[in-house]
Structure 1
């Protein structure tokens, strides 16, 4: 059964017109009145729905029963990542959503190849939100991770306040193996771009309370390292 993210209030027996994105999806699938689908709006759980009318530009549905299913991780994981270039950030957002990430914070770092600001940054964030929605629909998630506005690493560290455990993916000799640092509650990871974080940036992160952790002796790509860390936590806290 198709699953669609519908960014509207949903309740049983409501009849509504789908927003343009979900409506196009229904039309592409050539669904007909009487066909059923699953809707979720990120507030938790999901609803069955029945197609009532197929128009040229719009689709009307009736919302059915609510299922309070919860497929989220037991810990909320935020990835603050130095954005990898080209389509690797798309890949990271897609796979992190599938693995259960709570939020993604795109960062510009000293060694970043991808540098975004202004209107270009806003458009990229909207694009990544669409990638996250599609991945949530496909993977069965009932919540869509937040994709935060692009920030420079020092600015984000200066304004970052949370009660979560803070970890820095690092090759520092003092880094603790991630396998020995399993969290008891929510986690924020900081991970660098291609070329990693500079020594000054690692110092800033540690001063902000981020403890260095390592994934092992091998050098992982900028899009692989945060996904490996998230995978480790996802297997522990399903």
Structure 2
């Protein structure tokens, strides 16, 4: 099944017109004809079944015939991750975390951050593409780039910070339970600063280790994401 995305769809929708690029793909590449079936999601848990009724390659028109709802996962996972110097590595993380199961992502601006500007629109497109590819119907929320100190102000009880300093830490996997919401902070290539770690501890954020290996930022984020998803299998 090939899935298309439109945030404007809701349960009251009876028709939809695909944008020009998707219209060309549906008609010229997929060779859909009037009466053929198309599947769409609005990223809010709904799967819409539609039929082509006007096979225009510039403005393909669909008739919505039914919809179903996919319940969200039993847990929510919020990953706050410092963007990497190389954009493609952070984009890889966005794609894989969406496939594995993340609810919310906050790019984090830290003391040692090498990247201080992000392309939110491009990141959002990557999330949408990964959601469609993995046949999920819930689009992860993407927040603006947020300074570390601002982010930890509202930290809740199940918030963890994964850092590399030789302090007392427990393994993340030993702290996890099924059907529980978590927030996990992952630092930049140079790790969180000592000041940031102390600020986090003062907010009762729990320091954790992801294992014995020293991981790249994007790898650490995926390990954290998978650990939460695995405990909920």
TM-score by length of 2: 0.90
The unaligned stretches of length 5 or more in structure 1 are none
235 and 19 in structure 1: CA distance in 2 versus 1, 3 angstrom threshold: same
The offset of 1:175, in angstroms, is 0.9
Q: Which runs of 4+ in 1 moved over 6 A?
A: none
Tell me whether 1:125 sits opposite 2:123 in the alignment: no
Contact kept, 8 Å, 1:73 with 1:234, in 2: the verdict is no
Q: Distance in 2 between matches of 1:53 and 1:191?
A: 48
Q: Which residue in 2 is equivalent to 1:89?
A: 90
Q: Which residue in 1 is equivalent to 2:80?
A: 80
Contact kept, 8 Å, 1:78 with 1:189, in 2: the verdict is yes
The offset of 1:173, in angstroms, is 2.6
Tell me whether 1:168 sits opposite 2:161 in the alignment: yes
Q: Distance in 1 between matches of 2:100 and 2:157?
A: 19
The unaligned stretches of length 5 or more in structure 2 are none
Task: Give me the CA root mean square deviation.
Answer: 2.0
Aligned pairs, number:
229
Q: Which residue in 1 is equivalent to 2:10?
A: 10
66 and 31 in structure 1: CA distance in 2 versus 1, 3 angstrom threshold: same
The offset of 1:110, in angstroms, is 1.4
Contact kept, 8 Å, 1:11 with 1:63, in 2: the verdict is no
Contact kept, 8 Å, 2:80 with 2:106, in 1: the verdict is yes
56 and 100 in structure 1: CA distance in 2 versus 1, 3 angstrom threshold: same
181 and 60 in structure 1: CA distance in 2 versus 1, 3 angstrom threshold: same
Contact kept, 8 Å, 2:23 with 2:60, in 1: the verdict is yes
Q: Distance in 1 between matches of 2:64 and 2:157?
A: 37
